[in-house]
Amino acid sequence: MNTSTARARRDQDNNEGTGNARLRPGETSAVQGVNPRITAGIRYATDGGIPGEWHLRIIRSSVPAGRVTGFQTALLDDEIIFLTPDDVDAAGLPAFGCQIADQTVLTREPKFVGDAIAAVLAPTLAAARIAASLVEVSYERAPAVFDEMAAIAPDALLVHRSHATSESDSAYFDMRPQDGTNVCHRFRIRTAALQGRQEPNVITELDDSDTALADAFAQADVIIDEVFHTPAAAHVPMEPHATNAQWVEGRLEVVTGTQTPFNMRQDLAHIFGLAADDVRIVVPPMGGAFGAKTFIRTEAITALAARVSGRPVRCVLDRDEVFNEVTRHPSTVRIRLGAKADGTFVAKRIWAYVNTGAYADCGPGVAQKMGYAGVGPYRFEHVAVDSYCIYTNLPPGGAFRGYGAMQSVWASERAVDLLADRLGIDAVELRRQNLLREGDTFCTGEVMHDSHFEELLDDAASAVGWEKDGDRAGKGVAIMLKGMQTPSKAEARIQLLPDGRYEVQAGTADMGQGASEMLTRLAAEYLKCDVDQIVVCTPDTDRVPYDTRTTSSRSTHMMSRALADAAQDLLQHGTVGHGYVSNDGGLDPDTGQGVASSHWHQGSAAASLDVDEETGVITLRTLYASSYAGKVVNPHGADLQNEGSMILGLGSALFEELQFSDGQMTNPNLSDYNIASALDVVSISHKVMQIPGAEVHGLGETAVPPVPPAIGNAVASFGYHVTRLPMTPERVLAAAPSHEQASPPVGHIQGEEGA
């Protein structure tokens, strides 16, 4: 699939910049007003290079579990540098991980097909490729486990023997690893009516012994109990992972595409036993990321190679390696939802099983957000959630646009439609009746403010003519909330330059979402000057102040406030202004009570479609999303973000699924892995909802989660009960009401999936 098709899916075309990207990382632009995309002036990490650098190729495991027993390297040229876990041991490099410390730079005990077990270093890329192909590896193979449900069985093989919480700033919440199991984190929600009972610290399936929850469901006239599945998916950034590293007088300098420069600095300092100030991270613009370039990927092995060789080193992954480096978390989500005959929700029970693959990465955080996003923007007195982050022998699951909300919103919003059908109540009306409104309390104990769920729902329903003729066939809606990382910090600095312009120094990474444009517009607004007077420097940990990271749709919200403080400080005190904001919060991992999000990302979607009865092919007539943005900083960029999110959600709904055979990924390329093309997105329209005087809200992911359930609910209106993404023609036909393999009746649960 060519890059123009990939571009149709991805909103990587908003990196307009402010001119600085054309220069070497860390320098500042001297030319304004010229779009570097037009002049091919953007310099990505793949374009960079350090004079005299050598090229690194990673040797990866061909088995999903086992132990490396030897390497045959007799065919390597003398100039080739060969790195093994022995070099990691000799350097004394510890285990690392953004939330659980479970990885090593190179491993003797591979835990998935593609795990890094060795590396070669050569003066040219061609020589490095040849050298890597000449290394033969022998293994002692071990049994493996791939399915999240099999991995939590009492007799399951253990992927890791123990689970140690990381000391990284990325482990920003309390974790509950379950030693002796494959669960590296367990997150719970118990609303006030369900608290006070001592619960076992084990994997639970049902808690019927909880009298309060049993009594709540006893009040329900209808109970829906269903299991939903989401597969692993690929991020498919057009630019692969690329890292350039060198050591300068004992100091590590890394130029890499990363969304987390300060986390990267801290984690590399930990690995190499350095002070944080002895690590420098420079982040050029990225050609897409979508979560794939969060936390350490190729940086640690590249830095080790540079130290061992005494040379600058460059590592750029091939496309199949990008597919295997990190994926979206596969998941199984069971929803039990009860309501009275009049439609009032009385109780909700959620079990979320999150397949984090061989290493935890940020899976614990995904499990937590999946837990509360699955409750949805609804009022409940009784909510119980158990969400588990589970090790398997698949490639690691990491941050992915939508960050767990997509998986659980798919399940939750499909369950609401099933309930509406059983109650005989209009699906939009059932949602409207139970939506959270201003001043209501969410299941985490937070009081909702700036809430616009009803307006979003009505807008989406109107887009497909829901109320127009009463015909609901082929129409579906969905509504969602998603949290921003909380707690969260952001700093910004504005400096008056000698030529009278202002330089913005901020850690927000530009991965195509238009971060530089956002910072430019905001700074110009706060300083009351023309945008041509603003220069934005490349994120460089030697030059810019601390920022939590460019994830979670937090950057515009947080940086708008930090920049406002910095501008005010500069106007009051002279040539330099500094701004700092901090949002406190966090959730108790045992009750889910606290502050999950400083503010809520709110969105809706609607679909109108046809299903071919003979082929199962879904044809979209309309796909619409409405996202609340508060105050919009860059209207063009906001539109691109919303459309890009919808396109990704469309791919997740209909096409995207990584497939495996005995742990080996079978479609790690753009020929066998399907993403939405330009022809698939002709039905898309959307709205970015603004409110005068509102604060800036994040928008980078809001339209992803509601799209799959909106399409799924539209498909279900024809009687096709699909519970597994993507909704391929084969799965649609298998879910036909008359099919002998049809899903069980609504309200029933298949034992093997729920157990």
User: Confidence band (pLDDT; 50, 70, 90) for 38?
Assistant: confident
Please state, rounded to an integer, the average pLDDT across all residues of the chain: 91
Residue 621: give its domain's CATH number: 3.30.365.10
Q: What is the pLDDT of residue 41?
A: 82
Range of lowest pLDDT (103-107, 345-349, 572-576) = 572-576
H or E element, residue 714? helix 707-716
Tell me: the pLDDT tens digits for 267-312? 999 999 999 999 999 999 999 999 999 999 999 999 999 999 999 9
Tally of domains in the chain? 2
Q: What is the pLDDT of residue 192?
A: 87
> How large a percentage of the chain has pLDDT more than 70?
91
Across the strands, what pairs with 100? 165
User: Confidence band (pLDDT; 50, 70, 90) for 8?
Assistant: very low
Render the burial of 84-105: b for 16+ CB within 10 Å, e for the rest.
bbebbeeeebeebbbbbbbbbb
Same domain for 250 and 341? no
Residue 653 lies in a domain: yes
**Other Cβ atoms within 10 Å of 643 Cβ, number:** 19
Q: What is the pLDDT of residue 470?
A: 73
Same domain for 299 and 410? no
Q: What is the pLDDT of residue 111?
A: 98
User: Confidence band (pLDDT; 50, 70, 90) for 737?
Assistant: confident
Distance spanning both ends of the chain, measured CA to CA: 40
Q: What is the pLDDT of residue 201?
A: 59
Residue 480 lies in a domain: yes
Tell me: the pLDDT tens digits for 565-581? 999 999 998 899 999 99
C-alpha to C-alpha distance for 102 and 362, rounded to whole angstroms: 12
Q: Closest by alpha carbon to 549, among 489, 486, 500?
A: 489
C-alpha to C-alpha distance for 685 and 608, rounded to whole angstroms: 12
Is the pLDDT reported for residue 15 higher than 70?
Answer: no
Tell me: the pLDDT tens digits for 365-407? 999 999 999 999 999 999 999 999 999 999 999 999 999 999 9
Same domain for 638 and 663? yes
C-alpha to C-alpha distance for 314 and 255, rounded to whole angstroms: 9
Q: What is the pLDDT of residue 197?
A: 61
Is the pLDDT reported for residue 695 higher than 80?
Answer: yes
User: Confidence band (pLDDT; 50, 70, 90) for 39?
Assistant: confident
Same domain for 296 and 345? no
Q: Closest by alpha carbon to 17, among 40, 39, 42?
A: 42
C-alpha to C-alpha distance for 642 and 650, rounded to whole angstroms: 12
Is the pLDDT reported for residue 20 higher than 60?
Answer: no
C-alpha to C-alpha distance for 185 and 180, rounded to whole angstroms: 12
Residue 546 lies in a domain: no
Q: What mean pLDDT comes out for the span 723-744?
A: 80
Across the strands, what pairs with 251? 248
Q: Count of residues for the chain? A: 755
Q: What is the pLDDT of residue 4?
A: 38
Residue 5 lies in a domain: no
Tell me: the pLDDT tens digits for 132-159? 999 999 999 999 999 999 999 999 999 9
Is the pLDDT reported for residue 17 higher than 80?
Answer: no
C-alpha to C-alpha distance for 484 and 382, rounded to whole angstroms: 24
Q: Cis ω on the peptide bond leading into residue 364 (within 30° of 0)?
A: no
Same domain for 604 and 625? yes
Q: What mean pLDDT comes out for the span 542-555?
A: 95
Q: What is the pLDDT of residue 200?
A: 57
Render the burial of 200-213: b for 16+ CB within 10 Å, e for the rest.
eeebeeebeebebb
Residue 597 lies in a domain: yes
Same domain for 337 and 379? yes
Is the pLDDT reported for residue 538 higher than 90?
Answer: yes
Q: What is the pLDDT of residue 2?
A: 36
- Is the CB of residue 325 less than 8 Å from the CB of residue 549? no
User: Confidence band (pLDDT; 50, 70, 90) for 10?
Assistant: very low
Tell me: the pLDDT tens digits for 178-200? 999 999 999 999 998 888 665 65
Domain that holds residue 372: 226-234+327-485+591-754
> How large a percentage of the chain has pLDDT more than 90?
86
Same domain for 372 and 475? yes
Same domain for 301 and 378? no
Residue 166 lies in a domain: no
Q: What mean pLDDT comes out for the span 450-474?
A: 92
Residue 678's identity, in one-letter code, is A
Q: Closest by alpha carbon to 299, among 261, 256, 262, 247?
A: 256
Q: What is the pLDDT of residue 16?
A: 35
User: Confidence band (pLDDT; 50, 70, 90) for 750?
Assistant: very low
Q: What is the pLDDT of residue 205?
A: 55
Tell me: the pLDDT tens digits for 220-273? 999 999 999 999 999 999 999 999 999 999 999 999 999 999 999 999 999 999
Question: Last residue of a domain, which of 300, 325, 350?
Answer: 325
Is the pLDDT reported for residue 25 higher than 80?
Answer: no
Q: Which two tokens stand for residue 345?
A: 């929700």
Q: Where are any strands of DSSP class E within 20-156?
A: 54-60, 66-72, 81-83, 116-122, 136-141
pTM across the whole model = 0.93
Same domain for 269 and 394? no
Residue 209 lies in a domain: no
Same domain for 611 and 733? yes
Residue 171 lies in a domain: no
Q: What mean pLDDT comes out for the span 697-721?
A: 96
Same domain for 311 and 442? no
Is the pLDDT reported for residue 335 higher than 90?
Answer: yes
Same domain for 682 and 733? yes
